[in-house]
Amino acid sequence: MTDLIKHDKPATTPSREEAAITALTGDAQAAEAGALDLASSAYATISRVGGRSPSQLLWLKLRRNRTAMLGLYTLVAMYAAAILAGFIAPYKYDNARHDLPFHTPMLGRIHFFDEQGSLRRPFVYGIIPVDPQLATYRDDTSRFPIRLFVRGESYRILWLVSSNIHLFGVDEPGHIFLFGADQVGQDIFSRILYGAQVSLSIGILGILISTITGMILGGIAGYFGGVTDFALMRSVEVLLALPGLYFILILRQLFGTGMSSTHIYFIIVIILAFIGWATEARVIRGMVLSLKEQEYVIAARAMGFSNSRIIIRHILPNTLSFVIVTATLSVPFYILGEVALSFLGVGIQEPEASWGNMLVAAQNNRYLNDFPWVLIPGVFIFVAVMAWNFLGDGLRDAADPRTLS
């Protein structure tokens, strides 16, 4: 029997050409896999970024601007405090203690320990007038704890909710002046909160009226051109040529005196809006001159849409990014306009509170030197104006079409 001898098949060594082909094939596969990974990551990035609307991109850019966000948070806090002024303020704006004029601020005189050093709930001492003419007082031995959610004078929030619950306060006959008292013994802290309702809301109402007016008139001038454009733009140039503050004072005097603060409030809004629409209209007109030549406007005109529909539905919405930025930057003008009128005595009248008429006491040199806390409303004016400017600058940078991507 023949032995079967099994021989293992010798390993064949690949030729040089086969090795080269294998190497090239492996490199091609690796390159293909890398390209697919790169394409996938690129597609995911495009999906994340490209899937966002322009408003979402604007918000993302605005959030990266710390200064703009600081301004936004500050404004939210100030407007929330103005809306809830009746609840936050311990007293109403016209509550006066005539025996305590120019009382010093008590924010740093809130006590947590009694005379024996024992820890107590926050309290203030009673006030004994020494010489009200010289605004000198001393503390009484009686203590008045600061209580939360106390009942006091009635108020309304947004003319809808009526209540008499205040965030904090002290029992009678105690009194608490966080920021001090004015010349008739009114609480400056409470009046600042109530004054914010006037000074801050005038900025919002005024800019809404002037922006809408400027957009409509600027859109009409730019779209129709010709005689309409000429007449509207010459009116704009006349308004812009007049000195703003003097023109505001002249218009205010035309309405006379003896009106209630409510009437004066709306008159100030109308005057400031009448002054402010011109700048908006001129810029909108220039934008409409370019937009009306776009293909979608020509198509809308060819489809027989009315001119008013084309202007309102197709042209003006494309100017909103600019309008929002300029409106934000223009709000301080309206706030300062009300402050100037009230400071000069032709705006909101006492006993109603506004930041402008609260600064009237600062016109007296003695008051300014001896009772510097009468300038506290000016601090809030400064903060509000700077906050609007910070937010406006941030919106302008975020809405820049060269970076909105």
Indicate if the alpha-carbon torsion angle 174, 177, 183, 189 is positive or negative.
negative
Q: pLDDT for 51-81, tens place per residue?
A: 677 778 888 888 899 999 999 999 999 999 9
Instruction: Give me the amino acid identity at 28.
Output: A
**pLDDT for position 79:** 96
The pTM score is 0.81
Q: pLDDT for 182-233, tens place per residue?
A: 999 999 999 999 999 999 999 999 999 999 999 999 999 999 989 999 999 9
The full DSSP string for 47-116 is HHHHTS-HHHHHHHHHHH-HHHHHHHHHHHHHHHHHHTHHHH-SS-TT-B-TTSTTPPP-GGG-EEE-TT
Give me the mean pLDDT over the 327-345 stretch: 89
Task: Give the start-to-end residue ranges of the domains of the chain.
Answer: 67-81+190-398, 93-184
Short-list 247, 253, 265, 250, CA closest to 200: 265
Size (the chain), residues: 405
Give me the mean pLDDT over the 332-360 stretch: 89
Q: Which tokens in the block code for residue 223?
A: 């779209």
**pLDDT for position 248:** 81
The b/e string for 288-311 (b: 16+ C-beta within 10 A; e otherwise) is beebbeeeebeebeeeeeeeeebb
Give the whole-angstrom CA distance, residue 227 versus residue 234.
11
Give the whole-angstrom CA distance, residue 367 versus residue 369.
6
Q: Which CATH number fits the domain 67-81+190-398, given the four candidates 1.10.3720.10, 1.20.140.10, 1.10.10.10, 2.40.50.90?
A: 1.10.3720.10
3 state DSSP class of 122: strand
